Structure 1
């Protein structure tokens, strides 16, 4: 066992990096072995199997930002018009005002 109490922060960082690399290598090896076993079993019973590589990162679509549609006349708050109305909009509507009054002119 490694005595961590006497190690410097730099040495601890090096140990962590080395341990993470070793862990990743072992996980990759185990994954390859498991996939090979699955394929062997599939062949032995006469079925085909398709394994999707989850290690490969799929590019995620970035969420597009929606511009504000309404502005609070009494403050800096804005609202896109999507989702639940914010408290300031609810309060103004309860006063009998119309949403169209708060539309942001583009």
Structure 2
């Protein structure tokens, strides 16, 4: 039966072999991809697709306002203390 140190040494050898095989296969795959891209004239958008358009950013306008202090909340993030346990609709800012 192999000792712990012997097994660790074999593991390191196998890890090195695995990494070398991965590099070799990755290089071969990359060469194939490059040949295919060149042969068909693919663009990065053809390969990776186009980026989705970002959602329209919120204009940051407050949706809720505290009647006494004038504090506002846009409806995102944690609910402010002055709104906890209350119906937010009664504090909605009319547009």
Q: TM-score, normalised by structure 1?
A: 0.40
Structure that is richer in helix per residue = 2
Q: TM-score, normalised by structure 2?
A: 0.44
